[in-house]
Amino acid sequence: MDQYTLNLLVVGGTFALYIGIAIWARAGSTSEFYAAGRGIHPVTNGMATAADWMSAASFISMAGLIAFTGYDNSTFLMGWTGGYVLLALLLAPYLRKFGKFTVPEFIGDRFYSQTARMVAVVCLIVASVTYVIGQMTGVGVAFSRFLEVQNSTGLFIGAAVVFAYAVFGGMKGVTYTQVAQYCVLIVAYTIPAIFISLQLTGNPIPGLGLFGTHVESGVPLLTKLDQIVQELGFASYTGHHGNTLNMVLFTLSLMIGTAGLPHVIIRFFTVPKVSDARWSAGWALVFIALLYLTAPAVGAMARLNIIDTIYPNGTQSETLVYDERPDWMKNWEVTGLLKFEDKNGDGRIQFYNDASTEFAATAAANGWAGSELTVNRDILVLANPEIANLPGWVIALVAAGGLAAALSTAAGLLLAISSSVSHDLIKGAINPQISEKGELLSARIAMAVAIGVATYLGLNPPGFAAQTVALAFGLAAASIFPALMMGIFSKRVNNVGAVAGMTTGLVVTLVYIFLHKGWLFVASTASFSDADPLLLSIKSTSFGAVGAMLNFLVAYVVSFMTEEPPEEIQELVESVRIPRGAAAATADH
């Protein structure tokens, strides 16, 4: 059986499974659509949360970013994992105890303000739409290679699949679908990693193999990788070469952005009890760790395999003849995500850091006119099995896994958007008297519209999947996380302060991102590139932490300049944060 047919069968089979589950678990009420009837077991919810949280950025893009940069991009690992712990400890149990369906509903009730609720809706939609662009980018990358269609066609197919199971299934259908998607994505991620770790280090556990010995050279794997990349003019793989301030702010932005992401938070509304929310968080962390402990090894080993492919004899002067390139390079060239330009006309592939002044003399001596291979970082995990010459079924499994990761998170994000529009905007502000049937219909229509918008924006993403997602985390960090923290742990912050804080955090962060990326003014594109921070060394992906600080500062200053919250609101905060009575921690609210 040829690879295309095998890919089609495996991917098509998983799609049929997702749609079948959604039909079986179709939501019949608003409670089931928003919160799965609050009847999900903690282990099941933990697995669904892991799939919801481990997006295309985690599966497809993160290892690629680590592979091409090294230690400096370990910030993705530290930020996302640390943020999940922050969410599990400081937010999830208390929000579940409050007993609402959506994040804006909590903010509206806690800050006794319809305006606060509407501002939260805007913040949620902006962050979630930005996030979902990264997922649709991942869908397009996976489809364009494995099903041999155009990137745009892949986006449309992915959107149709999400529509089929998310619009009708709601949270109930999405939860069980995400359980299946987690099983697919974790198997697809770990099996190739095990094979490759065995090939390079003889150790079947990738995380241990990363710190093991490279079989061929007999030196530690990371030492070998450092040696090779530095010989080609790149920075050492294990060293820190970026700006420390930006690195710290970026990690912090990812952490608090993770804790403020509505599509993850609403997963904790689906369990029966507050104690189940805590157990769900613990189980999710276990399931997440299976991938996150493997990702650094995948990145390092893939980088080593790519360089070994281009320099088959291990010497700088003898590069790969282009006409003799392996099939995996030919396959990815078709997608346009891997490109070769023969700059010196010698018919060989040169791959090195042509910006390195130290390597310039060596390049000139070899007759090289610049690095000739461009590799989109989002392809690395998907191409890894082909690079390592693994069996065809492994390649097909990785295709299904990449799509599962992207679609599971996309469904969660779209559900958060549609719930906010139907429950907070339509029922909460426009038509409070709407019937349950009408609200359920509006939720499905809102999700369908959100899918269309996400697909359109996914056609022209602002960066790699993980970079686009990082912008979404920054927006969530600057707007939603501070409001949730102050809503739970401060009785003094009032409605005026909360609105002022969220507005300040969102607007300032958006303006900085647009200026930094060169999107605000066409004329500014040349001078305001992503490589030229506007404030100190802070890039747009790191500015969310600054926006969050401004949010906290403005909220507290304004609150202390205005009246205290009503007594009943202060008692509400006390009851949510501090259990009263032996059954308070496990009561069904």
CA distances from 343 to 121, 284, 339 (A): 51, 49, 12
496 Cβ contact list (under 8 Å, min separation 6): 558, 559, 562
Report the half-sphere exposure of 169 (CA within 13 A, side-chain side). 26
Which strand (E) or helix (H) includes residue 16?
A: helix 3-24
Q: Which two tokens stand for residue 295?
A: 């990702």
85/92 Cα distance (integer angstroms): 10
Closest CA to 285 of 96, 94, 89, 36: 89
What's the one-letter identity of residue 494?
A: N
Q: Measure the CA dihedral 525/526/527/530, to 10°.
A: 70
Q: Which two tokens stand for residue 479?
A: 């707007």
Q: Report, as ranges of residue numbers, the positions in the chain whose pLDDT lies below 50.
A: 464, 521-531, 580-589
Domains of the chain (ranges, CATH numbers) = 3-301+387-463 (1.20.1730.10), 304-382 (no CATH)
Burial 195-220 (b: 16+ CB within 10 A, else e): bbbbbbbebebbbebbebbbeeeeee
Give the pTM.
Answer: 0.81
318/366 Cα distance (integer angstroms): 9
What pLDDT, on the 0 to 100 scale, is given for residue 37?
Answer: 81
What pLDDT, on the 0 to 100 scale, is given for residue 68?
Answer: 85
What pLDDT, on the 0 to 100 scale, is given for residue 538?
Answer: 82
